[in-house]
Structure 1
Amino acid sequence: MKVGVAFGISELANPKAFEKKVSEFLTSLAKDFDVVGGFMLSSKADFKEAKDEVNFNEVDAIVLYPLTGGTEGFLKEFFVFRRPTVVFGDPFNNSLASGIEIREYLRERLVPSTLVKGMDELKAALLAYEDSLETLEPFLRMRLGLIGRVSPWLVNERFELPYTKISLKKFYLYYERTSDEDGWKAVEEIFEKASEIREPDREAMTKAGRIYLAIEAIIKDYRLDGFTIGCFDLIGKLKATPCLALAMFNARGIPAGCEGELNSLLGMYIVRKYFEMPVFMGNVADFGSDYILIAHCTAPLLWRYRLRSHFESGLGVGVDVEFPKGKASLFKLRGRRAVVAGVEVAGNEHSENRCRTQVKVRIEDAPEFLDGTLGNHHILAYVDSEELADLLSELGFEVMLY
């Protein structure tokens, strides 16, 4: 197991006073692991030098040892590598106090982190991470993209994980490289297979196809595992929405979220990567004592569907997808927290006063679930709720299972 190691000392401390402790620590660790690094840092500048010298992305785990207090500000920077981390603290020089602070910083960013104060504990924690790497790797190595901006009404959006930012200006450059002919070809089969077509005409479908092709090129060039897009910002310039494109990507197994929300995208990615099941991101549109209605204008095109316009704007191409009945999970992520409920997909509704795809799920005590949830957008997936909750816990979320 390859382990990257870094020590931290305050700028007020004398490095020579810690040389023996550092040497003994590295010697002991190297008996059982392939140790790289071993830097003694006292500033962010030192961190940058260490980063240039050793590629911590290639280690299996990282050990951070704050030898003194006052080291949190630069040791926390190791979160960018998104590697399982063991923080080592000892009872002297405010080492443990610093370690606790660093551990929580990492956990808030969903980097698996453990605090220990003995060498045997350290080695056991590293071996435990080695055993769980197969599960953790797809989560820690994911590449998510945000095209445009997070929609301003998502007032509870909080996302501390690294992601790739692609401006709408860049998106429009990709869009201009597409043609009407290619855009129509991309969606022609979807047009022909729809059970019903109401508002969209060929021009609207062609624009939707060009949006799809532009995003497809972005995914390839930026090597994205999934993306979300600030969709409403496209309406003014293109008089179109990406609803159909997102539906097509989600049908292909590429997580695609709307309104620029990264938390929902993360939930969609987790379901796709670990369960290989379709996912639906929707608004809570209605509820009763034993049901919740989830609605949005995009959903994976895997079942019978109608082509509609986007609900709020009346433009573009939205989809009304018929979801099959069956057991599923309804869940919400925000930051480090998650709420999960087992539900039963009961059917679909088709109100003209809601987003186009409307899925009704049965849930025990819906008002209690909504009282404890973390925001509006929820993810619906045909997966077992207990299995999902267990996975989320293993990935570092604090889970409330209903």
Structure 2
Amino acid sequence: MKVGVVFGISELADERAFAGRVSEFIEVLSREFDVVGGFVLKVREDFKRTKEEVNFNEVDAIVLYPLTGGTEGVLKEFAVFRRPTVVFGDPYNNSLAAGIEIREYLRDRLVPSTLVKDYDELKASLLAYEDMKETLDKFLKARIGLIGRVSPWLVNERFEMPYTHISLKKFYEYYDNVGDEEGWEAVRGVVENAEEIVEPEREALVKAGRIYLAIRRILEDYRLEGFTIGCFDLIGKLGATPCLALAMFNAEGIPAACEGELNSLLGMVVIRKFFGKPAFMGNIADFGEDYIILAHCTAPLLWRYRLRSHFESGLGVGVEAKLPTGKGALFKIRGRRAVVGGVEVQDNEHSENRCRTQVVLRIEDAPDFIDGTLGNHHLLAYIDPEELADLLSELGFEVMLY
């Protein structure tokens, strides 16, 4: 197991006073692991030089040892490598105090992090990360993107993981390079398989196809595994929405989220990578004692569907899908926290005063779930809720299971 090791001391400390401790630590760790690095850092410029000498992206885990307090600022920079991290602290020179601060910074960014204070704990933590390597790598190395901006009404959105940002200006460049005939061909099969086309005419369907192809080419060029898009911003310029494109991508196995919400995208990525299934992202439209209604203008095109307009604008191409009955999980991620509830899909509704796809979920004590959840958008997936909760816990989330 290859382990990157980095020490931190404050700008006020004398590095020579810690030379023996550094040497002993590396010697002991090298008996069990392939150690790389061993740098002693004081300031951010030291971090920059360290990056040039060792590629920490290639290690299996990182050990950060704050030898003194005042080292949080430089050691936190190692979060960028998204490698499982063990923070080692000792009882002197405010080492443990700094370690606790660093650990929380890493956890907020969903980097698996453990604080230890002796060699046996350190070894056990590193071996535990080695056992989880396949699972953690699937999660930590995911490449996701945001096209446009996070919708401004998502006032609880908090996201600290790295992602690739693609401006709407760049998106429009891709869109303009897609012709009308290409756009039509992209959605022809979807149109032919629809049970009914209610509002959209050919022009709207062509625009939907052009949006789909523009995004597909972005995903290829930027090497993204999933994306979210600030969809409402397209309405003013194009008179169209990406609802149909999102439905198509999710059916194809590419996680695609609405409204620029990265937390929902992350949840979709987890479901796809670990369960091989899509997730339906929706608004909480209503609830009672034992039910919740989830609604949105898109859904994976894996079931029966009608093509509608987008609900709020009356423009573009939305999807009214008929989700099958069955047991599943309803969940919400925000930052390092997650809520998961066991549900049963009971029925689909067809109110003209809600987003187009509307699904009725049976859930025990629905008001308690609503009271404890973390914001509006939720994901529905046909998976076991306890398995999902266990996985999210392994990945470093603080999970509430209902």
Where on the TM-score scale, by shorter chain, does this alignment land: which range?
over 0.9
Alignment of 1:163-182 (within 5 A): 163-182=163-182
Matches of 1:366 and 1:124 in 2, distance apart? 41
In structure 1, the partner of 2:57 is 57
Offset, 1:134: 1.1
Aligned to 1:363: 363
Distance 2:124 2:260 in 1: 40
1:225 maps to 225
Q: How do residues 30-179 of structure 1 correspond to structure 2 at under 5 angstroms?
A: 30-179=30-179
Deviation at 1:288, TM superposition (A): 1.0
Q: Structure 2: how far apart are the matches of 1:160 and 1:16?
A: 36
RMSD between superposed Cα atoms in Å: 0.5
Give the match's secondary structure for 1:316. coil
User: Any runs of at least 4 consecutive aligned residues in structure 1 with deviations exceeding 2 A, and if so which?
Assistant: none
Q: Which residue does the alignment assign to 2:194?
A: 194
Deviations 1:86-127 (A, max 9, x none): 000111111011001001111111111011111111111101
Instruction: Determine helix, strand or coil for the equivalent of 2:48.
Output: helix
- Tell whether 2:338 aligns with 1:313: no
Q: 1:226, 1:194 → 2: CA distance?
A: 25
Query: AA paired with 2:382?
Result: Y
Aligned mates of 1:221, 1:255 — CA distance in 2: 17
- SS in structure 2 at match of 1:359: strand
SS in 1 for 2:87: strand
Distance across 2 between alignment mates of 1:371 and 1:95: 39
Q: CA deviation at 1:277?
A: 1.2
Extract unaligned runs of 5+ from structure 2. Answer: none
Q: In the TM superposition, what whole-angstrom CA distance separates every residue of 1:245-270 from its partner, at most 9, and x where no partner exists?
A: 00000000100001000001001110
Unaligned runs of 5+ in 1: none
Deviations 1:21-57 (A, max 9, x none): 1011111111111111110000111011101111000
Give the aligned partner of residue 372 of structure 1: 372
* C-alpha distance in structure 1 between counterparts of 2:372 and 2:21, whole Å: 48
Residue 346 of structure 2 corresponds to which residue in structure 1? 346
Q: CA deviation at 1:78?
A: 0.3
Deviation at 1:365, TM superposition (A): 1.0
Q: TM-score under structure 2 normalisation?
A: 0.99
**Distance in structure 2 (CA, Å) of the matches to 1:230 and 1:95:** 43
- Once residues 365 and 113 of structure 1 are traced to their aligned partners in structure 2, the CA distance between those partners, rounded to angstroms, is 34
Counterpart-to-counterpart distance in 1, 2:194 and 2:225: 28
Match of 1:287 in 2: 287
Percent identity at matched positions? Answer: 77
Amino acid at match of 2:325: K
Number of residue pairs matched by the alignment: 402
Q: Deviations over 1:199-241 (max 9, x none)?
A: 1011100000000000000101111111000000000000000
For the residues of structure 2 that align with 1:156 and 1:128, how far apart are their CA atoms? 33
- In 2, the alpha carbon distance for the partners of 1:397 and 1:364 equals 23
Q: Give the drift of 1:333.
A: 0.5
Matched, 1:238 2:238: yes
Give 3-state SS (helix, strand or coil) of 1:93's partner.
coil
Cα distance per residue 1:152-205 (max 9 Å; x no partner)? 000000001111101000000110110000000000111111101111011100
Alignment of 1:249-328 (within 5 A): 249-328=249-328
Counterpart in the other structure of 1:332: 332
Counterpart mapping for 1:208-219 below 5 A: 208-219=208-219
**Aligned residue in 2 for 1:392:** 392
- Aligned residue for 1:32, secondary structure, equals coil
For 1:394, give the aligned amino acid. E
CA–CA distance in structure 1, aligned partners of residues 350 and 45 of structure 2:
58
Q: Distance in 1 between matches of 2:90 and 2:287?
A: 52
Structure 2 distance, partners of 1:118, 1:388, is: 33
In structure 1, give the amino acid aligned to 2:206: T
CA distance in 1, matches of 2:302, 2:385: 22
- Cα distance between partner residues in 1 of 2:94 and 2:127: 27
Counterparts of 1:171 and 1:54, CA distance in 2: 35
CA displacement 1:263-321 (0-9 Å, x = unmatched): 01001110011001121000000111111000000100001000000000000000000
**1:139 & 1:117 partners in 2: Cα distance?**
27
Q: Residue type matched to 1:373 in 2?
A: T
Question: In the alignment, residue 368 of structure 1 is paired with which amino acid?
Answer: D
Equivalent residue letter for 1:129: Y
User: 1:382: which partner in 2?
Assistant: 382
Q: 1:172 corresponds to which letter in structure 2?
A: Y
